[in-house]
Structure 1
Amino acid sequence: MTLVVKPVMMFAHKAITKTRLALLASFLFIGALLAACDTGTVERDHLKLTGRTMGTSYHITLVSADKEPLEVDAEALQGDIDKALQLINQLMSTYIDDSELMRFNRAPVDEWVTLSAPLMEVLQISQRISVASDGAFDITVGPLVNLWGFGPEMRPERVPSEAELAEARDNTGFGHVQLNTTRARRTAPVQVDLSAVAKGYGVDWIADLLVERGFANFMVEIGGEVRAAGLSPRATPWRIAIEQPELIGGGVRFALELQDKAVATSGDYRNYYEMAGVRYSHTIDPVTAKPITHNLASVTVVADTAAHADAWATALNVLGPERGMALANAEQLAVYMIVKDGEGFRDLHSQAFAPFAP
């Protein structure tokens, strides 16, 4: 039986316009998801936890060392996990009016604001990937997303005019968010949305919590972003299956073995609309201010942290197969791409992805 981890929107809108193509879990992790109604289900040597956060669900599997019985207070551990995730939401959500991020978005332009260490870290990750991708990753792109009809507003009755695009671009630009150790400021009235990186950061936060509690074998998944450590209940690396990018009934393209790494997938074949015979993708290129037109169906990134995998998958999806793969090799990123080729698909992968390749 195959279970698809569905992409779910976690904040007010996808400011980086990213559909998380489903990461299909191995049958071991699938078992954890199917047992979701029994939160805190303890098998002899592993524990399965599930819950809700960031507008989506989380699933965690913990495995004991050396097949010894797992001794853990499941209720107390889950309570700590939920509190940690509530904190991340309170810091970074655009759904919560008094979140730290929303207070920053309301601060006067050019005013330096002292921010918490977690929020500063996410902004720093975002800024580094924005610079490295030459603006393909941009946490301020929300006005363009809305203008093209992929935000909370209704779909447009016509394609935006060049004048409308120019006006929206005036309210975007990652360069308008400046960072200084513990402080940040907006130099223009841009709005920051961390939808394309905060879920991954949440995965990392929980992974670090588990490591601090002494766990060495676990998998953490939030809305399709995954980080795995150690071994699965079968004493083998965790297996994540990459979805075949088909509109209906997509199956498994190949299974990825994951150990002490994180993975995220971004793609472009489910969320779009057509107008006057033209297909408009939900993925907006912040540089051109328009939907992408290349033939990249999905891109999967394996990284040390889920936050980096999450953000890089978005950036490379914007860039497309040629520019994206060139950047992946230059940055030594482990990247796997599925590219539309006529009626079918072909696979590409970066040099760093070779150890994971099918």
Structure 2
Amino acid sequence: MKKLLRAGLLCLLAMLSGCDNEPPSRQTVLAGKTMGTTWRVSLVDIDEARAKTLTQNIQARLDADDRLLSTWKPDSALMRFNRSTSLAPWPVSPALADIVTVSLRVGAETRGAMDITVGPLVNLWGFGPDKQPLHVPDPQQINAAKARTGLQHLRVINEAQQQYLQKDLPDLFVDLSTVGEGYAADHLARLLEQEGISRYLVSVGGALVSRGLNGKDRAWRVAIQKPTDRENAVQAVVDINGHGISTSGSYRNYYELDGKRISHVIDPQTGRPIDHKLVSVTVISPTALEADAWDTGLMVLGPQRAREVVEQQKLAVYMIVREGDKFVSWMSPQFAAFLLDEQN
């Protein structure tokens, strides 16, 4: 799956300002690569032998998720559906049906801004399996790609203990890159629960899930990065407290074309990369999958329309907006409940 460079979430696996007299951490950090990005799992009181076994099990689980969701692997379950021109119900796994169901719901609640059928536009602008274009696509190319998109052309069917996807456009292309990291983070959390582990911090790319306390018997702390190239620039710190968190940003994954800065975030309504002043959206939700879906849709909407949706849906959201040479932050009351004092 294509790597989406987000507005970074820094996993602070120890306290930001620890004291010398604190006991040493009992944490173990496992890590690897998946979906074109990286994964990290922080655990407490795990011996070396079990850590090795867990690493193997985690990588196997993530490899299976990639075979399910990837648009870069022609034999993935999703790409088999995409390649088919059949308009009949297409049998899929419960997992794939659930991911699409959540995506369609959030898509509707963001007024179509979170659109998993936007793949033709993503590819047209060079952020999918196709190569980067030599020139900015012309209106005819954009309109042709838009004609192959739209959430109304896709539905999920649950029938007789079997799930199906069905499209009414033969060349509809579903791209789940925007939610894949969130789903994978939730999936790893479920794996750890099955292993009897109840204290962990999981991250896949920009999506995280936590449970319990860290190795110093304190809350897991997650820092939202400032919109800068400095990896250690912290904007705010939260305790996600058993929830999922995900960040989408427009200021890192881009390229220059014909003298213009091209963001990887595509507006399904215009068919073009976003050009508003919202540079980062962080969402805390019951699951990382939901957070991953919401942050994309809100990022597309821009600061004013996103705030309207956040207030209507009562979401836990932190936004960073560029105003001239400065960055201004805004958070919903629901997000403020998760906020921590960096000094404590």
Under a length normalisation based on structure 1, what TM-score does the superposition of the two structures give?
0.85
Of 202, 206, 230, which aligns to 1:224?
206
How big is the shift at 1:170?
1.1
Give the Cα–Cα distance (whole angstroms) in 1 for the partners of residues 250 and 263 of structure 2.
7
Contact 1:29 1:61 (C-alpha < 8 Å) held by counterparts: no
Q: CA offsets, 1:4-45, max 9 Å, x none?
A: xxxxxxx1x47xxx5411111215299xxxxxxxxxxxx984
Amino acid of the structure 2 residue aligned with 1:147? L
Amino acid of the structure 2 residue aligned with 1:59? R
How big is the shift at 1:278?
4.3
Contact 1:58 1:223 (C-alpha < 8 Å) held by counterparts: yes
Change (3 A) 1:74 1:27: closer
Contact 1:24 1:242 (C-alpha < 8 Å) held by counterparts: yes
List gaps (5 residues or longer) in structure 2.
17-23
Q: CA offsets, 1:168-196, max 9 Å, x none?
A: 11111122111111111121111111111
Q: Tell whether 2:302 aligns with 1:320.
A: yes
Q: CA offsets, 1:248-286, max 9 Å, x none?
A: 667111222222111111111123345565443321100
Give the Cα–Cα distance (whole angstroms) in 2 for the partners of residues 187 and 29 of structure 1.
52
List gaps (5 residues or longer) in structure 1.
1-10, 31-42
* % identical equivalent positions: 40
Of 216, 229, 244, which aligns to 1:262?
244
Q: Please name the residue that 2:149 is paired with.
A: 172
Of 60, 63, 75, which aligns to 1:86?
63
Q: Please name the residue that 2:21 is paired with.
A: none
Change (3 A) 1:281 1:232: same
Q: CA offsets, 1:106-129, max 9 Å, x none?
A: 223311111111111111111111
Change (3 A) 1:282 1:303: same
How big is the shift at 1:158?
3.5
Q: Please name the residue that 2:288 is paired with.
A: 306
**Stretch of structure 1 that moved more, 341-350 or 82-91:** 82-91
How big is the shift at 1:152?
4.2
The aligned runs of 1:117-132 (5 Å cut-off) are 117-132=94-109
How many residue pairs align between the two structures? 328
Q: Please name the residue that 1:292 is paired with.
A: 274
Of 214, 219, 234, which aligns to 1:252?
234
Q: Secondary structure at the match of 1:197?
A: helix
How big is the shift at 1:71?
9.3
Q: Please name the residue that 1:148 is paired with.
A: 125
Change (3 A) 1:51 1:160: closer
How big is the shift at 1:143?
1.5
Give the Cα–Cα distance (whole angstroms) in 2 for the partners of residues 330 and 56 of structure 1.
33
Of 263, 274, 296, which aligns to 1:281?
263
Q: Secondary structure at the match of 1:73?
A: helix
Q: Secondary structure at the match of 1:302?
A: strand
Q: Secondary structure at the match of 1:28?
A: coil
Q: CA offsets, 1:208-256, max 9 Å, x none?
A: 1111222111011112211111111111111111111025667111222
**Stretch of structure 1 that moved more, 153-162 or 285-294:** 153-162
Amino acid of the structure 1 residue aligned with 2:38? S
